[in-house]
Chains A and B, each alone.
Chain A
Amino acid sequence: MCRIGAIKSKEYVHPSVALRLMRSQQKGHDNSGFAMIMQDLGGVFEGYKGLPILSMACTDEGIKVAEDILHRKGFVRLFQWAPQVFPKPGLKIEPMPNYVFQVYQYPKLYNYAPQEEKEELLVDMRLAIRHELENHDLGYVYSFWPDILTLKEIGDPSDIGEYFNLWEENDYFKAKIITAQCRQNTNYDIVRYAAHPFFLQGYTALANGENTFYEKNKNLQKKLYKGYIGFESDSQCFLYTLHYVHKKLKWPLIYYKHTITPIPFEELSQREDGHILANIRASLAHLEINGPNTIIGVLPDGTLFTCCDSKKLRPVVVGRDENTVVITSEVTGINDILPNRDWQDDIYPGEREMVVINDELEVVRWQQ
C-alpha cells in the first residue's frame, strides 16, 4: 500500500520537509522511488509566476527535441535551472542524464489569446514532446504549466534525497504546496510516469490503494479529452475525473466526490437533490471508483482536498498548525514535521466526507 502526503503552507517549504513527512511512513512503501509536485513556487522560480515551466528528465538529445518543438511554436526560453546532483557510489538510484526545469515565454501570437487557448496550447506542447521522447526513448516530460515543478525518480527515497541534496534545506528550491510519494507504482513495471502525483492543467492528484474500476474509468476517459493518456497507473484515473468534473464540466468540487463514490440509491431517494445526483450517477457511472482508495488533490488555485473510497478502506489524516496543513496517510508523518501542533485538531475523514483546505488554510469539511 502506498503512503501519500501533501503539505500546504503559508510560507515556502523545502522538499526536505516532504521527505521527512514520508520517511516515518517508510514501512508502507518499498523504497522504489520518489516523486513530488511543487506548486506555488518560491526560490529561484518566484519571479516567473505566470509563465509555464517545463519539467523533464531526459537525455541530452531529449532536451534538444523538446526545445525544438517549443521554439518552432514560438516559445522563448527565459530561464532554466537544474538541480545540482551529488553522485556517490552505493546510492540506490537510477538517474536520468538531465533534470530540466525551464521557464518559457508564451509565443507572441498568444499575447492576447484567451486563457483557455493558452491552456490547451500547453497541453498540446507537452503531448507533442512526450510523443517524441517516447518514440525515440529520450526521456520523460512531466509537466508544462505555470508555477508547477515535477520531479520523479526511481530508487531509494533517502538516496534520491542525497543525490539531489534534497535533505538539506536551502532558499532557492521551495514551494507553498508540495505533494509527494515515496515509491513507484510497483504493481506493474517501474515506469517514471506511473509514480504519483499526477498532474494535468493545474490539477494534481495522488492516491493510494487499488482502483478496481480502472478498466471502466480508463475506457471512458480515453474518449473525453486529449490529455487523458498514459494510464501507466490505475490512479491516473482519479486525476482525470477530477479534471473532467471540475474543469471540463465546470461543476463545483462537491460533485467530484458524488461522481467517484456516489451515494447509494436508497439514500438518494430521500435527498432533496437526489434527482440531480441520480442523473450524475447514471451519466458518469463509468467514472465511479469502487476500490479502497484515499485521494489527495490540488486545484489550480491551490485548494487542497482529500476524500476516501466509499468503504473507508484506506487511512488518511489531516493535521495542522497556524502556518501549515498536512494531509497524509499516517499520523506518524505529521508528528515528524508538526510535532507541536494540537493533535486533538487532527481530522480523520470518513467515507462520505470531503476535507478542503483553502488558501487561508481554513478547513472546510462536508458530508457528501
Chain B
Amino acid sequence: MATVKVNQLAKDDLFWQIDYKHDRCTLCGKCVASCPFQAIEAKVEKRRKVVSEDITPNPKVYFQTIPVIKQVISEYNFCRGCGICEKVCPNDAIKPVRNSDHRFQAKYRATVADPFKRGGRSNLETDGRTLDKIKVGRISQMTDPSLDAQRHTFDMRAPFGRVLAPNEIPLEVDSCGRLVLKNNLPPVRWIYPIIIGDMSIGALSWRMWEALAIATAYLNEEVGIPIRMCSGEGGVPVRLLKSRFLKYIILQIASGHFGWNRIVNAMPHMVEDPAGVLIKIGQGAKPGDGGLLMAKKVAKHIQEIRGVPKADLLSPPNHQGLYSIEESVQKMFLSFNAAFKFRVPVAIKVAASATSVSVYNNLLRDPYNIVGGFFLDGIDGGTGAAHEISLDHTGHPIVSKLRDCYKAALHQGKQGQIPLWAAGGMGKNWNLAADAFKMICLGANGIFTGKLMLQLAGCVGNDMGKCNACNTGLCPVGICTQNPTLVKRLDIDKVAENIVNYFIAVDHELKKLMAPVGNSSLPVGRSDALISTDKSVAERLDINYAC
C-alpha cells in the first residue's frame, strides 16, 4: 500500500478548487499572469494516451509530458475564488469551484500559528436579513391619495448637525412679528439621506477613492443629489482639501489620526469648509478592534497623504487619553468644533453594541450641544480586512439597535436632536433605497453605505467567501490595493459612472416608496408604514405583524 502524507495540505483542504479543462486550454497564459495570488502556475504532467491508427483496432500506449495549469497548494498562495482566471480565459478552460468540504482555516492556523485573516464581511448569515422581512405595508388609498412618484416634488433631506429643542433656540420676536435669532446656533447641514461611508484612501486604492470623490461631486453638481462622502481615516489629498469640492467631503478622524497633519496644514488654504467631521470611535466590522493597514499597502502616495513611513499602520482600538463619554465630548468635539470655528458639524461614529443606547442617551443630554450626529455601524458593515474571529464573531446587528436608539430619544422627547445615521449591510440585497426607506421609518435620519460602492466598482467578492482578499493588498480588481499593476485594472470613469447611475436609480426608487405612503418629505420614525411577516421581528421592532 502506498504511503500517504495525511498531514500535508491537499487540494481537498482548500476553499476553492481550480477546475481546469486541459482540452480547452490554448496555453495562452492569461490566467496565470492575471492571478494576483499566484494561486495557479504553469506545470507539466505526465499523461498516458492510447491511440489506434490502423483500420482495425490496434491500440498503442504513449506517455507524454504536457504543459498544464495547476493549482498551487499552499497556506499562502491559495485560490480565493475571485474568478479572474475565468474572466480572462478566452476558452472557458478554467474556473474556481467552491469546495464545500474545505477545512482551510483549521489547517492554516495549525500550520502558521497565527490568526486567520481575510477581507469581506459576515459570511455566517447571508440570508434571512431582518430588513427583507419588513415591507412597506401602509399604502395610501382613498382618504390620503398616493402621490405620483414621477411628477410630484419630494423634499428628501436629512440633518447633519446638532439640532436644538425649539425652546433652546435663542429666538425673539421683532417689532414686525418675525422671529429673529439672538445668537449663533450649532451648524446643521441638510444633505441627502444616504452618505457614502468612510473608506480610507489607503484601504482603497487611489483610483477607487478618486472615483468615489468624482461621483460625489458629479451627483451634487450635475444631478442635484446633495450626497456627501466620508473620507475615512487616512487623510485627503491636499489638492482636494484646497478645492471647492471639499464641501462634499466629511473628514474623518480616528484613533490613528492619520492624515490630520496634512489636513491641519491645509486649513488656511481651504476655500470651502468640509461637509463635516466624523470622529470614529468604532466600526461595524471588527468592532472594538483597531484598523490595520499592512506595510505592503503603504505605498509612497499613502505615506505622503498620511504623513507616515512605510510600516504597518495601526489605529489603536481606542482613542488614547479618553476614558469617558463626557471627556470625549469635551476634548474631541470641542476641539474639532473649534478647529473650524464652530461652522462645521462634528459627529461621532460607533459600532452598534449592547451599550449604544447608553452612549446615545448620554450624548443627548450633553449640555454643550455640540454632538452633530450619531453614526451607528452594525455587524454587516465594513469592508474590513481583519482577523476572521473579529469579522465573524463580534458585532451587533444594526436594525434593532437603530430602533432602540430612536426609542431612547423618543423616551427623552429628544428625537431628531442628535441625528441618527445607521449602516451595516445596507444594500446587501442590492437595493439601497428599500433599506434606506425602512431604516428611516424605524427612526434613522439617514444611512451610510460602503461595501455596496465597492461592489458597484467591480468588487468580485461576496458574502459567501468569494475573493474576500481585501487583507492581502492584492485585490484582483484594483479596489483595495496599492499595487500599481492591479490598481490600473480599475477604470476610474467607469466606476464613477456606475456609482452616479446607481444613485440616480436609488433616488427614483426612494420616491417610489415615498409616493405610495403619501409622503413628500422623509418619514423619519414613521414605523406605522412598516409591517413584518415575522412575528419576532415585528415584536422586537414594535411594528405591525402581518401574515
Contact = CB atoms under 8 A, between A and B. Distances in A.
B185 interface: yes
Interface stretch (B155-163, B293-301, B327-335, B421-429): B155-163
A215 B528 contact: yes
Interface string B269-312: 00000000000000000000000000000000000000000000
Contacts of B173: 250-252
B187 to A, nearest CB: 10
Contacts of B171: 251, 276
B153 interface: yes
Residue of A187, A265, A290 with most chain B CB atoms under a 10 A cut-off: A290
A280 B166 contact: yes
A292 interface: yes
By size class, the interface of chain A is: 35 or more
A282 interface: yes
Nearest to B147: A311
A249 interface: yes
Given A210-B144, A282-B163, A283-B164, A216 B188 contact: no
B515 to A, nearest CB: 11
B181 interface: yes
Given A215-B528, A292-B145, A311-B147, A273 B518 contact: no
Contacts of A254: 177-178
Contacts of A290: 518-521, 523
Interface string A329-347: 0000000000000000000
B179 interface: yes
Interface stretch (A97-105, A133-141, A217-225, A320-328): A217-225
Contact of B190 (A210, A265, A310): A265
A342 B354 CA distance: 67
B40 interface: no
B413 A216 contact: no
B489 interface: no
B169 A283 contact: yes
B525 A313 contact: no
Contacts of B520: 290, 310-311
Contact of A220 (B159, B185, B413, B517): B413
Given A265-B155, A282-B416, A215 B527 contact: yes
Contact of A215 (B144, B185, B526): B526
A215 B178 CA distance: 30
A65 interface: no
A262 B518 CA distance: 16
B428 to A, nearest CB: 27
Contacts of A284: 166
Interface in B88-128: none
Contact of A292 (B144, B166, B416, B517): B144
B66 interface: no
A313 to B, nearest CB: 7
A167 interface: no
Given A224-B413, A286-B415, A311-B147, A278 B518 contact: no
B410 interface: yes
Residue of A224, A262, A282, A291 with most chain B CB atoms under a 10 A cut-off: A282
Nearest to B140: A212
Nearest to B521: A290
The majority secondary structure among interface residues of chain B is loop
B410 A219 contact: yes
Nearest to A2: B143
A214 interface: yes
Contacts of A251: 171, 173, 179
Contact of A219 (B179, B180, B185, B525): B525
A128 interface: no
B167 interface: yes
Interface string A196-216: 000000000000011011111
A313 B518 CA distance: 11
A111 interface: no
Interface string A288-304: 10111000000000000
Contacts of B166: 249, 280, 283-284
A252 B178 contact: yes
B524 interface: yes
A264 B188 contact: no
A85 to B, nearest CB: 34
A217 B58 CA distance: 92
A212 to B, nearest CB: 5
A237 to B, nearest CB: 13
Nearest to A1: B143
A188 B523 CA distance: 22
B511 to A, nearest CB: 14
Contacts of A222: 413
B165 interface: yes
Contact of B180 (A264, A276, A283, A285): A276
A291 B523 CA distance: 11
B144 A282 contact: no
Nearest to B441: A215
B39 to A, nearest CB: 52
Contacts of A187: 143
A285 B416 contact: yes
Contact of A265 (B157, B179, B518, B525): B157
A294 to B, nearest CB: 13
A159 B166 CA distance: 46
Nearest to B188: A282
Interface string B512-537: 00000111110111111000000000
Interface in A223-241: 223-224
A275 interface: yes
B518 A264 contact: no
Contacts of B410: 219-220
Interface in A248-285: 248-252, 254-255, 262, 264-265, 273, 275-276, 278-280, 282-285
A50 B220 CA distance: 59
Interface in B173-217: 173, 177-181, 185, 188, 190
B29 to A, nearest CB: 57
A288 B164 CA distance: 16
Interface string B138-153: 0010011101000011
A273 B528 contact: no
A282 B525 contact: no
Contacts of A280: 166, 169, 179
Contacts of B155: 264-265
Contacts of A311: 147, 152, 520
Given A212-B517, A264-B155, A290-B520, A279 B169 contact: yes
A243 B509 CA distance: 37
A286 B519 contact: no
A262 B155 CA distance: 10
A232 B188 CA distance: 35
A307 B517 CA distance: 22
A209 B521 contact: no
B223 to A, nearest CB: 14
Contacts of A252: 173, 177-179
A276 B518 contact: no
A276 to B, nearest CB: 5
Given A212-B519, A279-B181, 13 more contacts: A209-B144, A212-B517, A220-B415, A254-B177, A264-B153, A276-B178, A276-B179, A279-B188, A282-B416, A283-B165, A284-B166, A285-B163, A291-B144
25 contacts: A187-B143, A209-B143, A210-B143, A210-B144, A212-B523, A214-B528, A219-B410, A249-B166, A250-B173, A251-B171, A252-B173, A262-B521, A265-B155, A265-B190, A273-B178, A273-B179, A276-B178, A283-B165, A284-B166, A286-B524, A290-B519, A290-B521, A292-B518, A311-B520, A313-B144
10 smallest CB-CB distances across A and B, nearest first, come from A223-B413, A210-B144, A282-B163, A283-B166, A252-B177, A210-B143, A264-B155, A290-B519, A215-B528, A291-B144
Interface of B: 140, 143-145, 147, 152-153, 155, 157, 159, 163-167, 169, 171, 173, 177-181, 185, 188, 190, 410, 412-413, 415-416, 517-521, 523-528
